Amino acid sequence: MNNHTHHKQNLIDEFQNNGFVILRNLVDNKKIKKLEDSIKAQILFHMNKHELNIEGDIFNQGIIQLNKIRKDKTKFDSVQVIYNLIRKLPELYNILGDSNVMDIVRILSRLKENQSPYIWESFCRIDPPKDSSFDLKWHQESFFTLPNSNSVQLWSPIINNVSINNTGTITLLKGSSKLGELKHYIIKLKNYIHEGIPDEEIDKINLEEINVELKPGDFLFFDEHAIHKTFHNQGDKVRFTMVANYSNPYSENFKFMSEQEVLMYHKLRTGNAKDKENESYIQSFTSKGGIKDFSNLIN
């Protein structure tokens, strides 16, 4: 393994004690550069579409300008399109399936050498500066993934380094994975609703907050019970981060469920699922998903 003098047992111990591990320079820079180039081509294409000036800092200025246009709902939303395209890029899959990444995930998930994890979800977040639209509250990933899949979460920047002051970053409560799963609630934010742990509960826990600083090539892996949130980007560059969830299909209670079934399962077990005011929010998921009856289409 590259520069990782990390012995297998040390890595497991660190992961168990802290709830996360950081591996620096885990993936070959050429692979990262290929993904960046592929993203750059998309940004250029969309800047051209909106007749924006395409000189200078394409990654940052391009996204910042396209994000401004996005606020005008009458205009074509290029950021949304770029976002959806990036998550399906072969260059992204190439990194998420990289053999060094797989080695680490296998160790942390206790998979055997011939067993592979299942990628529950993967995407690349794009967080432009000073835009709080999609800020997340404290949460654990076990409330968003396949139940009983003992998953490991990957979080890693591309293009720009991430730190609390420059781009905002992910913050974890050290040792929080040992607490097991905490109750989540449907939390309504200004622009956005998501399931999370109320701040008052976090104050009671009183664990050290770790703000991770990473550069492209560095990878954070955390336990599905590690409590985390991302801090708002107060800087002047865009935060680009790869996010993936590796679940373990060899765990005892593993049961495959569709995306909609999983969303529903978690929403229904939130602490305030039964509140009248959350009824329509939950209903909006039921109507889209669930097990559909196609019997009327047969014969």
Ligand X SMILES: O=C(O)CCC(=O)C(=O)O
241 binds, among Fe ion, ligand X, none (CB under 5 to 8 A by kind): ligand X
Is the CB of residue 290 less than 8 Å from the CB of residue 261?
yes
Q: How many CA atoms lie within 13 A of 282 on its CB side?
A: 20
Residue from 158, 140, 147 nearest 242 by CA = 158
Which of 60, 167 has the CB closer to ligand X? 167
Tell me the C-alpha distance between 187 and 204, whole Å. 18
107 three-state secondary structure: helix
According to the binding rule CB under 6 A, does residue 153 interact with ligand X? yes
x/- mask, Fe ion, residues 39-68, rule CB under 5 A, reads ------------------------------
260-279 residues near ligand X, rule: CB under 6 A? none
100 binds, among Fe ion, ligand X, none (CB under 5 to 8 A by kind): none
**Which residue of 85, 136, 189, 273 would you call a contact of ligand X, by CB under 6 A?**
136
The residue number with the shortest CB distance to Fe ion is 141
230 binds, among ligand X, Fe ion, none (CB under 5 to 8 A by kind): ligand X
CB contact set of 155 (below 8 Å; sequence gap of 6+): 170, 212, 219, 220, 221, 222, 241, 242, 243
Structure tokens at 16: 């168990």
**Which residue of 241, 247, 248, 270 would you call a contact of ligand X, by CB under 6 A?**
241
155 binds, among Fe ion, ligand X, none (CB under 5 to 8 A by kind): ligand X
Question: How would you class 21 by CB atoms within 10 Å of its CB: exposed for 0-12, middle for 13-18, buried for 19 or more?
Answer: buried
Tell me the C-alpha distance between 145 and 122, whole Å. 11
Which of 65, 142 has the CB closer to Fe ion? 142
**Which residue of 70, 125, 137, 225 would you call a contact of ligand X, by CB under 6 A?**
125
**Which residue of 104, 170, 173, 182 would you call a contact of ligand X, by CB under 6 A?**
170
Binding footprint of ligand X, residue count (CB under 6 A): 10
Question: Containing H/E element for 18?
Answer: helix 8-18
Q: What are the residues binding ligand X (CB under 6 A)?
A: 125, 136, 141, 153, 155, 170, 228, 230, 241, 243
